[in-house]
Structure 1
Amino acid sequence: MVSLPQSGIGPKYKRVADAIQSAIRSGDLTVGDRLPPVRELAWSLGITPGTVARAYTLLTDAGHAVAEVGRGTFVANRNTPRTRTAQSPVREYVSVPMQGGKISLASPQLPDLGQVALLRDAFARVGETAPERLLHYPTRNAYKPLREAAVHWLRTIPLGHIHESDVVLVHGAQNGLSVILQALLQGPSPTMLVEELAYPGFRRSADLLRADIAGLPSDNKGILPDALEEIARRTGAQVLCTSPDVHNPTLVCTPPERRRAIADVCRSLDIQIIEDDCYRRTDSDAPSYRILAPERTWHVASISKVLTPALRLGFAIAPSGRGPELRQVAEHGFFGIAQPLAEVAEHILTAPETETIVAAIRERMAAYVRVAVNALGTYNLTWHEDVPFLWLPLPQGWRAAAFCRAAEARDIQIRSADEFALRDGRAPHAVRIAINAQIPLQSFESAMQQLRDLLQHPPEQISV
């Protein structure tokens, strides 16, 4: 039976973990013994379940215990080697099985390289918070620590000066996009501009707000400035939505000189810019639109593509001095994010190991990208090791819809270029292949070989 020392140094969860380690050393607990259920031990010790859960997390992270889903937590065999590398102190986690036998490459899937343990620890801390913090609406000042953490989190992106009051916390980048558009769009039939091939979320936000969309032609450097000016004048567009660092789905990165030309057009026609920055290359040093046109650029970012999409945490950043009007839209719409969520997010963003975990995730995703390039690189493939998807224009003989159906028949799910086109637009015969690092690398490599086999054997008859 585990007992909590009446005196000791450190928080309760640490003392519980120390007591269990002491029982293991003394032989009272041996390899394979099941630790008491969290609620049972919490009741017997007169402490909260969150405290016990955090102690168990500490033990499992240190290798003293092992948690088995549906069975409980057991004393671990300390002689079993734990997988670590000299380059990365983060822990290796087992990949999740494929769902229904299918390999989903429709959306990027991040591996767990320690962020799950961080989340569990953060939720345990929130469970120990003062009761009154869980019974009242939060104040604006209550969110200040997370806004400051967000500013620190975004410090490596060339955004210019950001004050915490410029940041509005939202439920993911898609929610941030909608909140910004609500603050900007005016009149009974506003128009927003997007690339002819673009992230579908732009179109969905326009539908939600009953706005019209005008498509913009692009080349291998991004939006064409002359076309932007002509279409903006003709439609009276109010907002440009774009992803200049990593265009989704083509991976085009707009160079600095093109960005300056686009910013000049927007300034001359008084067009607001929404810069979607959910995917970012670590080697990009091009200035953001927030630097080039700070008075009219609204920046959207999130942790979904680099850490976890589960929290639905995003950041909508207003031009300097316009934070209050953006915050008003958020507060009128959903009163702001939940205070417990804010506390969990603050813990995640400020934890000293988070940046190491993010770097390890990037490297793991890059390994999958390299496998895809090795298999498909003889085709007209666009890729970057920092980007968790690839763009593949199809060779002669294949249509995008037919290729996706053929891949689905082999239990591989990918996305057609049609999903990124405007409703009245035309899409090239191409597909986007997302990186799923939650399946074993060997399974992913097998999927790439299956796609290569399809590319090598187009159908005799072209289907439409």
Structure 2
Amino acid sequence: MDTILSGFAAGTGPKYRVLAGVIRSAIQSGQLAPGYQVPPVRELAYRLGVTPGTVARAYTILTDERLLVAGVGRGTFVRRVEPAETPATAPIAVEPVPHGSEGKTYPISLFSPALPNVGQSALIKRCMAKVAEEPPSGVMHYPSHTAYRHAREAAVRWLTGTPLGKLDEGQVVLAHGGQNAIVLILQAVLRGRRPAVLVEELAYPGFRRAAELLRADLVPVAMDEHGLIPEALAEAARAHDAQIVCTSPEVHNPTCLFTPEWRRHEIVEVARRYDLQILEDDCYRIGPARADTFRCLAPERSWYTSSISKSLTPSLRIGFAVAPEQRALDLRRAADDSFFGIAAPMADLAARLLTCPELPVLHDKVKSEYARYIRVAVNHLGAYDLSWREDVPFVWLRLGQGWRAPAFCQAAEARGVQIRPSDEFTLRDARAPHAVRIAINAQIPIEAFEGAMVCLRDLLTDLPERINV
């Protein structure tokens, strides 16, 4: 290894690229054989007189190129190539992207969860072909509530197992994804020139964007380890004459926390006392529900949203908005007045896709694959203040002393890993905690994902002033 590294000092350009180039050449020439264990990050950094971040960044590039593989708890090795496999030298990306002639690499995006393709792509194509051959709703008519009954019934079947209380297809509206479902519900609920919307102090940014789109005032509500604090919710509702509270009790985005049923009952009591509507966003849950939904606990005032984006595919933009029984017409009018309804071929596709007998098996495979990536993240970051669940496609990392979320994200991106700072989950003028959300990208090889976790782990061990961003 020392002979190979002798060319490092003569290299020009960024040190991490020079180091990556030296190791790459040694692997391609056979000087480093498959299975060879390269030195640990800190050891090699000491030998070369560079920062650990420089070595980690070089290793990440080579892991992305599938020349190196990081073994969980064992070290980093030259990758063994299977006989039927060709070494991949193209940089990894969530979606295929063009590569410049100058050999530009693209970062690993851990901004948003990326679903593994475990067979749903082929299933969707088959369903599309059948719909194109014989579209049940036709291709020459405006969307209509009556014509889409089959799609709403399929949505109710998809939601079977979610404790929603009494539910029939007439209370469901098909939307263009979960975000559109949130907008529709706020359109159906909000009244007046400047309505107030309550949101968790850390919350899915889509709540904020939907409320701002409708010119509503946003009010943050304090949280604890169980979710919304009932006393804080009561104070905010009273002080601002709020009309609705938006919450994610099953899988809180971004912290992974779960609101237990006893706390949900306390929130319902506050909502009834101050005549608050409740909007429950359940888009991130891919495992079984752990408690009754608000719609089950307070059916007269609770609205529910979900979608197939986190468990099947985000590309089709199929979401569901569910109204309280007495407010179904309000929700339907919001959709009719906004866009008449989703396109007829998409409704037919939803009806066919959501009733396919293969879906439960595919869903289990998605959960299993996500869990595999989560375990890799926990293996490398679990020694830090990390919140995670195997059935949630992201983790929440609270940073140690010295790091601030924007600086940490900037340092990570400089090393080829993109993550979200806590600032993106607070209101614009609120104080953000020193934390980041790391989404699971199951569309890249797990070796590349592990390389990204190694990079983040190594950053955590360095103080920001020692990092060359």
The normalised TM-score by structure 2 is 0.77
Tell me how many residue pairs correspond in the alignment: 372
* SS of the residue 1:274 aligns to: strand
* SS of the residue 1:213 aligns to: strand
- 1: CA distance between counterparts of 2:135 and 2:201? 51
- 2: CA distance between counterparts of 1:462 and 1:276? 39
- 2: CA distance between counterparts of 1:132 and 1:284? 33
- C-alpha deviation, 1:268, in angstroms: 0.9
Q: How does 1:58-457 map to 2 (within 5 A)?
A: 99=97, 100-129=105-134, 133-280=138-285, 282-457=287-462
Q: Which amino acid in the other structure matches residue 167 of structure 1?
A: V
Matched-pair contact (CA < 8 Å) for 1:191–1:213: yes
- C-alpha deviation, 1:460, in angstroms: 3.0
Q: Give the alignment's Cα RMSD to 1 decimal.
A: 2.0
- 2: CA distance between counterparts of 1:289 and 1:388? 23
Partner of 2:79: none
- C-alpha deviation, 1:312, in angstroms: 0.4
- C-alpha deviation, 1:346, in angstroms: 1.3
- C-alpha deviation, 1:126, in angstroms: 1.7
Q: Which amino acid in the other structure matches residue 115 of structure 1?
A: Q
Matched-pair contact (CA < 8 Å) for 2:137–2:344: no
- 1: CA distance between counterparts of 2:168 and 2:136? 31
Q: Which amino acid in the other structure matches residue 254 of structure 2?
A: P
CA 1:439–1:281 in structure 2 vs 1: closer, same or farther (change >3 Å)? closer
Q: Deviations over 1:329-379 (max 9, x none)?
A: 101110100010011111111111111111101110110000000010000
Partner of 1:69: none
- 1: CA distance between counterparts of 2:374 and 2:381? 10
- 2: CA distance between counterparts of 1:132 and 1:234? 49
- 2: CA distance between counterparts of 1:164 and 1:176? 16
CA 1:335–1:418 in structure 2 vs 1: closer, same or farther (change >3 Å)? same
* SS of the residue 1:198 aligns to: coil
* SS of the residue 2:219 aligns to: strand
- C-alpha deviation, 1:451, in angstroms: 0.5
Partner of 1:9: none
Matched-pair contact (CA < 8 Å) for 1:246–1:253: yes
Q: Deviations over 1:183-237 (max 9, x none)?
A: 1100111000001111100110111000000000000011110111111101000
- C-alpha deviation, 1:95, in angstroms: 9.5
Q: Which moved more, 1:209-218 or 1:100-109?
A: 100-109
Matched-pair contact (CA < 8 Å) for 2:115–2:441: yes
- C-alpha deviation, 1:281, in angstroms: 5.5
- C-alpha deviation, 1:389, in angstroms: 0.2
CA 1:462–1:123 in structure 2 vs 1: closer, same or farther (change >3 Å)? closer
Partner of 2:49: none
- 2: CA distance between counterparts of 1:329 and 1:445? 45
Unaligned runs of 5+ in 2: 1-82, 85-91, 98-104
Matched-pair contact (CA < 8 Å) for 2:286–2:310: no
- 2: CA distance between counterparts of 1:283 and 1:353? 18
- 2: CA distance between counterparts of 1:200 and 1:377? 26
* SS of the residue 2:386 aligns to: coil
- C-alpha deviation, 1:119, in angstroms: 1.1
- C-alpha deviation, 1:453, in angstroms: 0.4
CA 1:164–1:132 in structure 2 vs 1: closer, same or farther (change >3 Å)? closer
- C-alpha deviation, 1:139, in angstroms: 2.7
- 1: CA distance between counterparts of 2:135 and 2:256? 46
- C-alpha deviation, 1:124, in angstroms: 0.8
CA 1:299–1:398 in structure 2 vs 1: closer, same or farther (change >3 Å)? same
The runs of at least 4 consecutive aligned structure 1 residues that moved more than 6 Å come to: 94-98
- 2: CA distance between counterparts of 1:195 and 1:168? 25
- 1: CA distance between counterparts of 2:234 and 2:260? 19
CA 1:133–1:284 in structure 2 vs 1: closer, same or farther (change >3 Å)? closer
Q: Deviations over 1:224-252 (max 9, x none)?
A: 10111111101000000000111100111
Identity over the aligned pairs, expressed in percent? 55
- C-alpha deviation, 1:462, in angstroms: 10
- C-alpha deviation, 1:140, in angstroms: 1.7
Matched-pair contact (CA < 8 Å) for 1:225–1:262: yes
- C-alpha deviation, 1:321, in angstroms: 2.9
- 2: CA distance between counterparts of 1:391 and 1:326? 34
Higher normalized contact order (CA 8 Å, seq sep 6+, divided by chain length): 2
- C-alpha deviation, 1:130, in angstroms: 5.7
The normalised TM-score by structure 1 is 0.78
- 1: CA distance between counterparts of 2:428 and 2:206? 13
Unaligned runs of 5+ in 1: 1-79, 82-93
Partner of 1:65: none
- C-alpha deviation, 1:461, in angstroms: 7.2
- 2: CA distance between counterparts of 1:96 and 1:229? 43
